[in-house]
Structure 1
Amino acid sequence: MVAAPIITSRLRLEALYPETIESLLAHDIASAQSIQGTVFCKEFLESADETFLYIQLEQMKSRPSSQEWGVRIIVRKEDGEVIGHCGFHGPPEIIGKTEIGYTILSGYRRQGYAVEAARGLADWARLQGSAVVFASVSPGNSASIGVLKRLGFVITGVRDDEVDGQEYIYELAL
């Protein structure tokens, strides 16, 4: 099952195929690019968290329909450039909530792409029946906090993540 892209005014949020993730985890970049039909720059490859990719891949294998609730590449419509990645931590019924994340590559920051991608994810989640979207962010990540605040997210708590340390939990009612 191939998840349809989420389309915004300037972006296509395209689901990574399970085979693409397998190739990325095997460090077979040529194969990953061939499967996905795009080019992944060095910064994109360095920003891809292997633990997260393993989790995403296992969810896709155990439940193929979860692909639409997984990791996506952010592709700029005007030129087909991969400018980051975003997506959901998994299907809400598996992880217990609708949680989003996003990363914009350094050369494309401060142009509104993170806001647009996060808004696209939240709008899509609303259409799937989610009433609330969550995001967790490091207290020191002022850029990401700014993105969430621009979209109307409000801080609802703090948690200690075993990998990332202290994180603020933000919530947006849809």
Structure 2
Amino acid sequence: MFKESNLNNKKKFIFQSERCYVRSFVEYDLDDFLSYRNNLEWMKFQGFKGLSRKEYEEALLKKPSFEKGAQFAILRKVDQHLIGDVFIKMEDDTFWIGYTVSPLYKRQGYAYEIAKSMIIWMKQQGEYKIKAGVEPKNISSIRLLEKLGFLLLTEEDGELIYLFHQAQ
């Protein structure tokens, strides 16, 4: 079973990269989260958008569950500023991942850096497959998945499903 001990304290991180760490959301993250999640042009390929503050509070400030799927905050180490979020869900022998970076931090390598660290963390949890779904028109995300070592597995309900290739 994977290690969920860091989730007991919201201030502790789950995993980290060189410039960032990932932890559960806390109330003071919500303003920055709302600013990019409700930017419908930026989020055109994403789900979980356009909600009210109350709806986000209910989803983000409860105890996260990998089995139900949960969003986690990405913070820059240098200033503790929220720059994006990751989604992690565990189904049987598979971790499903997602990632979003605020448009203020796009094209600075943060998505690659944090996704790579997330994969390393997941590999440390045991023998799990790692999958990601992506809209076919989301070329930036497709390129990122391929750069990380994901291969196209199938298409389901208009979404491309990628599988991390373990032999990387």
TM-score if structure 1 supplies the norm length?
0.69
> In the TM superposition, what is the alpha-carbon distance from 1:42 to its structure 2 partner?
4.4
1:71 aligns with 2:71: yes
Q: 1:14 aligns with which of 18, 23, 29?
A: 23
Aligned match of 1:140? 137
1:85 aligns with 2:85: yes
1:43 aligns with 2:43: no
Structure 2 portions without partners, runs of 5+? 1-7, 40-47
1:2 aligns with 2:9: yes
Q: Within 2, Cα distance between the matches of 1:76 and 1:65?
A: 21
Identity level (%): 27
Q: Within 2, Cα distance between the matches of 1:133 and 1:55?
A: 27
Superposition CA RMSD, Å: 3.1
1:120 aligns with 2:142: no
Residue identity in the other structure for 1:171 = L
Structure having the larger proportion of residues in helix:
1
Q: Within 1, Cα distance between the matches of 2:64 and 2:136?
A: 33
Q: Within 2, Cα distance between the matches of 1:150 and 1:55?
A: 34
Contact in 1 for aligned 2:33/2:84 (Cα 8 Å): no
Aligned match of 1:23? none
Helix, strand or coil: the match of 1:83? strand
Aligned match of 1:103? 100
- Evaluate the alpha carbon distance shift between residue 149 and residue 74 of structure 1 in structure 2; reply closer, same or farther with a 3 A threshold: same
TM-score if structure 2 supplies the norm length?
0.71
Q: Within 1, Cα distance between the matches of 2:76 and 2:36?
A: 14
Structure 1 portions without partners, runs of 5+? 21-31, 161-165
Contact in 2 for aligned 1:72/1:85 (Cα 8 Å): yes
Helix, strand or coil: the match of 2:137? coil
